[in-house]
Amino acid sequence: MRENDLLNDTSIPDPNNPHNYMLDTSAFNKLADKYSDLELFIRSKSFGFMYYKTANQDYELGGIGANVYDENCLPTYYKKSEALERKRPLFYEIQEKLEIKRVSSVASLMINHWILDGTYRIWDDHSVEGKLMQKILDFKQDSKKRKKRPFSQNYDAMIAEAALYNDCILVTNDSDLRNMVNEDFLGRAIDYDELIRRINSYSATISTVHLK
């Protein structure tokens, strides 16, 4: 989403659709690297595949990930590499062509991470999604890096919770995040290559049915 766009794309996925996919930032990056796959993704929408993101992807794709916030919750540096700057137009194009919708996620105490437009919800730490989020937040809690960047796991935790809450399958190439989700919710997190396999498999099935 461009900075001057209104937050008007918040959506509630159809819980009966088995093809709701939540793309995390690593998935966006992989699709930008393999841009020729975009046509396959676009075609998959005609099969009912739907793609979603959280508000955090807007921050991360802009180069401001959770790991830039220090212990005072201040963004102390901006990770805007040359590679990211080259990909930025592709990120916009991917979101527009796939009509990627934003879903609600839990609010964070991080600066500017609470918007009263339905984008954020209050964290329910007693829910199954909330308990998973806490597990991810606790991951590598005692590391020196975590002490310096205490919010580094926040976006991972928030997107995992959002995927479960909104009946989506999380697509991430972060193996640690994927494993933590699947440990408690088997099959609810896959990597980019598995998504490609699913699209191709479903496409082949549809083509076979049409030929009969």
What pLDDT, in 10s, does the model give residues 139-161? 765 556 666 676 777 889 889 99
Q: With b meaning 16 or more CB within 10 Å and e meaning fewer, what string describes 170-194?
A: bbbbbeebbebbeeebeebbbbbee
Q: What is the pLDDT at residue 107?
A: 78
Report the distance separating Cα 27 and Cα 149, nearest Å: 23
Per-chain mean pLDDT for the chain: 83
User: How many CA atoms, within 13 angstroms, populate the side-chain half-sphere of residue 111?
Assistant: 11
Find out whether 110 and 151 touch, Cβ atoms under 8 Å: yes
- In the structure, what pLDDT confidence band is assigned to residue 17 with cuts at 50, 70 and 90? very high
Report the distance separating Cα 11 and Cα 16, nearest Å: 15
Report the distance separating Cα 34 and Cα 32, nearest Å: 5
Q: What is the pLDDT at residue 210?
A: 53
Report the distance separating Cα 207 and Cα 209, nearest Å: 5
Percent of the chain with pLDDT strictly greater than 90: 47
Report the distance separating Cα 48 and Cα 20, nearest Å: 8
- 56 or 27, higher pLDDT: 27
Q: pLDDT tens across 170-201, in order?
A: 999 999 999 999 999 999 999 999 999 999 99
Q: pLDDT tens across 90-139, in order?
A: 999 999 999 999 998 887 767 666 665 567 787 777 888 888 888 888 77
pLDDT for residue 89 is more than 50: yes
The dihedral sign for the CA sequence 76, 58, 40, 82: negative
Alpha helices (H) in 98-127, listed in sequence order: none
For the chain, list the domains and their CATH numbers: 20-211 (3.40.50.1010)
- For the whole model, what pTM was predicted? 0.84
Point out the least confidently predicted range of 10-19, 76-85, 119-128, 184-193: 76-85
Q: What is the pLDDT at residue 116?
A: 58
